[in-house]
Structure formats: C-alpha cells, structure tokens
Amino acid sequence: MDATLLDALTAPFAYGFMQRAMLVTLVASIACALLSTWLVQMGWSLMGDAVSHAVLPGVAIAYILGLPFALGAAAFGIGAVALIGGVRAATRIKADAAIGVVFTTLFALGLVIVSVTPSDTDLQHILFGNVLGVSDADIAQVLIVGGIVCVALLVLRRDLTLVAFDPGHAHAIGLRPRLLHAVLLGALALTVVTALQAVGIILVVAMLVIPGATAALIAVRWDALLAWSVGITVVAALAGLMAAFWLDISPGGAVVLTQGLAFGLALLFGPRRGLAMRWSRARRHALHGG
C-alpha cells in the first residue's frame, strides 16, 4: 500500500479523541450487529425501533437522578415491551399499531423531559450521539454493558437460534422460550445504551437492523450470518469515522450511512439474493431455454 495512502488512513487515529471514538463505536457496533441478526431473522425489527425510542425517558430520568443510563434504559425498554403486550391483551389492536402507539408516546415523553431538564451537558446528545466527546465514565459504561451483551448473546446463541426458528421444539427439549425472549429484549434495551454515545437514539434503529439485513443477503448458515454482520459493521465503523474526520461531518451519521452503502452493495452483488446474481441466473436460464 502506498505510504501516503496509509498515512491518510491512520492519521485520524493518532488523536486521542479519535481513538476513544473508535473504541466506543466498535463496541457499540459489534453489540448491535450481533443482536441485529436475531432481530431481522425473527421479524423483530419494529420491536427494535420501539425499544430504541422508548428508552429515551428512562435515560433522561436516570440523568436527573444521577444514575447510570443503563438502569433507566433497561427499565423503560422492558417496561415498553410489557406495556405493548398489555395493550394487545386488553384490546383488539394489532401488534404494529400497539408498538407504534407505545413507542411514540414514550419517545414524546422523553423529548419533553429533555426539553425541561437543565443540565451542564447537552442532553440533545442522547438523540444524536456525541462519540467525539465521550468521557472515561462513558467509555467504562459502554465497555461493561456492551461486553455483557456480546458475551450473553454468544454463549446463548444456539438456544436463542432454536427458539427463534422452532420455539415448539425448543420447549420440548427443556428450553424456556419466554425466558429466552426476555433475554433478547433485555439485551436489546442494554444494546441501545451502548449505542447512545456513538450514534444517538434516533440512529440506533439503523444499527440494529442494517447489519443483520445485509448479512442475510450474503450468508445462509447462522455462524456465517453472525460473522458477516459483525465484519460489515466493523468495516463501516472504521470507514465512517475516517470519513467524518476528513469531511467534517457527523460521525454517527457517517457510520450509519456507510452501513447503508454496504447494504446497497449486498443488494446489488450479494451471492444469494443480489440483483446482479439473479439477473445473471435469469439470463443463463433464458439462453439455455433458447
């Protein structure tokens, strides 16, 4: 590789604030990528959207009380899931409508709390992220929470996968589908916390959906799905941060935009469902048939 190009690629990470941003973004991205695989395959993408927005009032209240963000986010994330279930049980409203009502209401509550809360630090960073200004406490929180999520998902990956695709068989062999679903939802709430500093609440849902959706266009086997999801998100995190440094743009926006570009490439050229591959197969079939 040309020395000038190599210097250009490594120069941003010679700065302390960029090293800290890279650490936080990578941990948050990997946690989101792992969880994204299950959310996409189980059709829980909308639930990811709901929880990522519903935790805002919990985070704001935790800030006011001087508590860790993770506590407030987990409480409101799990509470939102329970509330959605309660609304569905008490009414004839369909799941997507119940999710929409609950998460938009809680998100609006969070916006109100943020707007009336005096603070030395700008709580708007919760919405849009502030990865270039993370503190030591923020880094410790991301490492601890993100590490717990990643370890839990990897240790339980076989059980979670079986429950995702065949809950009846999982129950028959002694697993507890409801408990494992609760583990996924708890991991979802905690994962949102790890991504707050990197991209903010508004873009968290993209990081919870795009990696898994991209991997699904490339791989079939579950371990390969996890590997592709994580690999794509790591490359996107590094490329996005470098683009943000050189172009002076939003780091969170650049990371998510890079993930979106990766999805576009997989959609066009993916070996499983890529449009180019499908067109090539159709053309070969037409020639053979002719």
Distance CA 9, CA 164 (A): 40
Tokens 């490339």 correspond to 218
Q: What is the pLDDT of residue 215?
A: 92
Cα angle, residue 35 at apex, residues 34 and 39 outer, rounded to 5°:
130
Q: What is the pLDDT of residues 17-69, one digit of tens each?
A: 888 888 888 999 999 999 999 998 888 888 888 888 888 898 888 888 888 77
Q: What is the pLDDT of residues 84-95, one digit of tens each?
A: 888 877 887 887
Q: What is the pLDDT of residue 252?
A: 86
How many structural domains compose the chain?
1
Q: What is the pLDDT of residue 34?
A: 93
Per-residue pLDDT of the chain (290 residues; tens, 9 = 90+): 555 766 667 777 788 888 888 888 899 999 999 999 999 888 888 888 888 888 889 888 888 888 877 788 878 888 888 888 888 778 878 878 888 888 899 989 988 888 887 765 556 667 767 777 777 877 888 888 889 999 999 999 888 888 888 878 877 888 888 888 888 888 888 888 788 767 777 788 889 999 999 999 898 888 899 999 999 999 999 999 999 888 888 888 899 999 999 999 998 887 766 677 677 766 776 666 55
Q: What is the pLDDT of residue 2?
A: 54
Distance CA 248, CA 12 (A): 12
6 assigned to some structural domain: no
Distance CA 160, CA 187 (A): 12
* Alpha-carbon distances, residue 252 vs 28, 33, 83, 190, 255 (angstroms): 11, 15, 30, 18, 5
Distance CA 7, CA 81 (A): 48
Residue 119 CB coordination number (10 Å)? 11
Tokens 């935009």 correspond to 257
11 assigned to some structural domain: no
Angle between helix 95-116 and 45-54 (nearest 10): 20
Q: Closest by alpha carbon to 244, among 264, 265, 258?
A: 258
Q: What is the pLDDT of residue 204?
A: 85
Q: Closest by alpha carbon to 90, among 106, 101, 104, 76?
A: 101
259 assigned to some structural domain: yes
Residue 186 CB coordination number (10 Å)? 16
Distance CA 210, CA 43 (A): 13
Domain encompassing residue 223 = 17-284
9 assigned to some structural domain: no
| 218 close to 97: Cβ distance less than 8 angstroms | no
Q: What is the pLDDT of residue 235?
A: 94
Residue 86 CB coordination number (10 Å)? 12
Write the CATH number for 70.
Answer: 1.10.3470.10
Q: What is the pLDDT of residue 231?
A: 95
36 assigned to some structural domain: yes
Distance CA 214, CA 188 (A): 19
Cα-only R_g, the chain: 20
1 assigned to some structural domain: no
289 assigned to some structural domain: no
Q: Closest by alpha carbon to 150, among 18, 20, 27?
A: 27
Q: What is the pLDDT of residue 77?
A: 82
- The three-class DSSP label of residue 140 is helix
Contacts of 288 (CB under 8 A, 6+ apart): none
